[in-house]
Amino acid sequence: MIPYGRQQISEEDIDAVVAVLRSDFLTQGPVVPQFEQAMCDYTGAQFAVAVNSGTSALHLACLVLGLGEGDWLWTTPITFVASANCGRYCGALVDFVDVDSASS
């Protein structure tokens, strides 16, 4: 198998996950709003919403944009399937496009 991406997980990351697993909260506990606030502080955004995966994040982005029936989502064919499925979840049509170096 050709590696597509590599994760970088530190001992600090592992310790943080273990602390949550040992706590009384697995979902919607105090760590979630702390993480969202840290993202706001880091990015300068007023709001942040944590989700469970990149797939969910893409789906949420399509919903926020109001993507739906009759709309088109363009994406590259060399990506994760979630890049296209997020549009399909919202009823949009998907078209695979790519950059042609001869046209630039």
Q: Supply the DSSP string of 79-90, one letter for each residue.
A: S-THHHHHHHHT
Q: What is the mean pLDDT of residues 52-73?
A: 96
Could you tell me the pTM of the whole model? 0.76
- 104 has a pLDDT exceeding 70: no
Alpha-carbon distance 55 to 80, whole Å?
Answer: 9
CA 56 to chain centre: 6
Q: In this predicted model, what pLDDT tens digit does every residue of 2-56 receive, in sequence order?
A: 776 788 999 999 999 999 999 998 888 899 999 999 999 999 999 999 999 999 9
Q: What is the pLDDT of residue 66?
A: 97
Q: In this predicted model, what pLDDT tens digit does every residue of 75-91 receive, in sequence order?
A: 988 888 999 999 999 99
